[in-house]
Amino acid sequence: MKFKITLLPGDGIGPEVVAEAVRVLETIASKYKHSFQFQERLMGGCSIDKYGSSLTDETLADCQASDSVLLGAVGGPKWDDPKAKDRPERGLLALRKGLGVFANLRPVKVHPALMEWSPLKPEKLQGVDILVVRELTGGLYFGFPKGRDIKDGRERAVDTLEYYDYEVKRVMELAFNLARGRKKKVTSVDKANVLESSRLWRQIAVKVGEANKDIELEHMLVDTASMRLITGPAWMDVVVTENMFGDILTDEASVLAGSMGMLPSASLGESTIGLYEPIHGSAPDIAGKGIANPTGTILSTAMMLRHSFKLETEAAAIEKAVDETVTAGARTADIGGKLTTRQMADEIIQRL
Ligand code: IPM
Ligand code: MG
């Protein structure tokens, strides 16, 4: 089959990890007789430098016209001025909105060989296999009013946590569908004891739950969830939550796996176009050194094959190769080894 993939390597270590993920996709293409056509574009700080905008209309249109998008990472100290008109992160948010990818899937599995790299005791990590479904195009990140002004002689800043019923419903339904292929349990995380938006969230969760009686629905307050994630994460399976809660909980959950460098993500919407990216950032401290862990990005390509291209066999082959590579002891610096980004990818490719 033939697919067009837009690459947005971005900033920092982004280009280094995306280059290795492309080699993995090329290996898959030749082994399974597919054709992946790549087009590379700028997004983030590099796009601000070249075009004066973190995401140009042309780049967004190119992404929309492709079958899926693979992103490295965006941001860095160079573009951190709080007064700047544009920031790399704005490009990422505009891209998510522009692609309509309202659900961000962040799976967290702990490889037995990496348990020592987790801050939790190994016995707490047994059986951890979590899928966080984070709402991605609503909530505090996008709500209006938003901004700064002077009110009653005081400097003021406003962000708005806003949700429409249909925004909650579609991400909730997706979470229920994903739960059906797993342990048939959904934990909906909110702050319904305080926030009106969370009370709407919970009301819709209950409604979707009634229409999907084969799936167990549990509600949990976000503060409790963040605590339970550390005291005993094995209870979690599919967790669905609003944008900002999901942002925070997924960083917290990621340390369970030993390194953020290991974890992939997929952002999905109504269409089959998905946005795939590792969950780590641009890591300016190690950028250009060729030592970043490419595994999260490589696993993101597996998610791309599964969710956007429906190539389950190929997706599973990548995941198996990663699993065997880690079991065999191949390690980049973040997980205590000396392999370069390229060598780690070679280890994975060799097992494909
Ligand atoms: C993430 C990141 C982004 C977010 C930033 C870079 C805008 O933290 O993907 O989790 O907050 O969504
Ligand atoms: Mg984040």
- The residue nearest atom 7 of ligand 1, judged by CA position, is 89
- Which of 166, 223, 310, 320 does the annotation list as catalytic? 223
Residue-wise pLDDT for 150-201, tens only, equals 999 999 999 999 999 999 999 999 999 999 999 999 999 999 999 999 999 9
- From the list 62, 129, 159, 251, the catalytic residue is 251
Report the pLDDT value the prediction gives residue 185, as an integer from 0 to 100: 98
Residue 267: band (very low, low, confident or very high) from pLDDT cuts 50, 70, 90 = very high
Is 149 catalytic? The answer is no
Q: What is the pLDDT of residue 235?
A: 84
**Per CATH, which fold does 1-101+266-352 belong to?**
Isopropylmalate Dehydrogenase (3.40.718)
151 is catalytic: no
Considering every ligand atom, which ligand is closest to the CA of 252? 2
Protein residue with least CA distance to atom 8, ligand 1: 247
**Could you count the other beta carbons within 10 Å of the beta carbon of residue 152?**
5
Domain chopping of the chain, boundaries: 1-101+266-352, 119-257
Q: To the nearest whole percent, how much of the chain has pLDDT over 70? A: 100
Q: Is 128 left (phi over 0), alpha (psi -120 to 50) or beta?
A: beta
* pLDDT tens track for 222-253: 999 999 999 989 989 999 999 999 999 999 99
The predicted pLDDT at position 203 comes to 98
Q: Is 285 one of the catalytic residues? A: no
When pLDDT is averaged across residues 302-315 and rounded to a whole number, the result is 98
Provide the whole-model pTM: 0.96
pLDDT in tens, 20-62: 999 999 999 999 999 999 999 999 999 999 999 999 999 999 9
pLDDT per residue as tens digits for the range 61-88: 999 999 999 999 999 999 999 889 999 9
Mean pLDDT of 118-147: 95
Contact yes or no for 221/189 (Cβ under 8 A): yes
Q: DSSP letter at 339?
A: B
Q: Nearest CA to 9 among 99, 109, 91?
A: 91
Asked if the domains at 1-101+266-352 and 119-257 fall in one CATH topology, the answer is yes
| Cβ(40) – ligand 1 distance below 6 Å | no
- Which atom of ligand 1 lies at the shortest distance from residue 96's CA? 12
Q: Which band of pLDDT confidence, cut at 50, 70 and 90, is reported for residue 120?
A: very high
* Residue identifier of the C-alpha nearest atom 4 of ligand 1: 247
Q: Using CA positions, which residue lies closest to atom 5 of ligand 1?
A: 89
User: Residue 14 — pLDDT band, cuts 50, 70, 90?
Assistant: very high
Neighbours of 318 (CB within 10 A): 29
Nearest CA to ligand 1 atom 6: 89
The alpha carbon of 90 and the centre of ligand 2 are apart by a number of angstroms equal to 13
Catalytic residue among 190, 247, 276, 334: 247
Select from 30, 9, 54 the least CA-distant residue to 277.
Answer: 9
Kindly give the number of the ligand 1 atom that is closest to the alpha carbon of 93: 7
Is 277 close to ligand 1, i.e. is its CB under 6 Å away?
Answer: no
What are the distances in angstroms from CA 186 to CA 123, 191, 258, 263, 324?
24, 16, 25, 21, 30
Asked whether residue 284 carries a pLDDT value surpassing 90, the answer given is yes
Is residue 92 within 6 Å of ligand 1 at its C-beta?
yes
The CA 77 to ligand 1 mean position distance, Å, reads 16
| CATH architecture for segment(s) 119-257 | 3-Layer(aba) Sandwich (3.40)
- Determine whether 276 is an active site residue: no
CB 293 within 8 A of CB 262: yes
Q: Rounded to whole angstroms, what are the CA distances from 55 to 12, 63, 113, 258, 336? A: 17, 11, 39, 32, 36
> Smallest Cα–Cα separation from 348: which of 324, 329, 315?
324
Catalytic residue flag (residue 141): yes
Mean pLDDT computed over every residue of the chain? 97
Which of the four pLDDT bands, split at 50, 70 and 90, describes residue 332? very high
Those residues whose C-beta lies under 8 Å from the C-beta of residue 212, and which sit 6 or more positions away, are 176, 180
Q: What are phi and psi of 4, to 5 degrees?
A: -105, 120
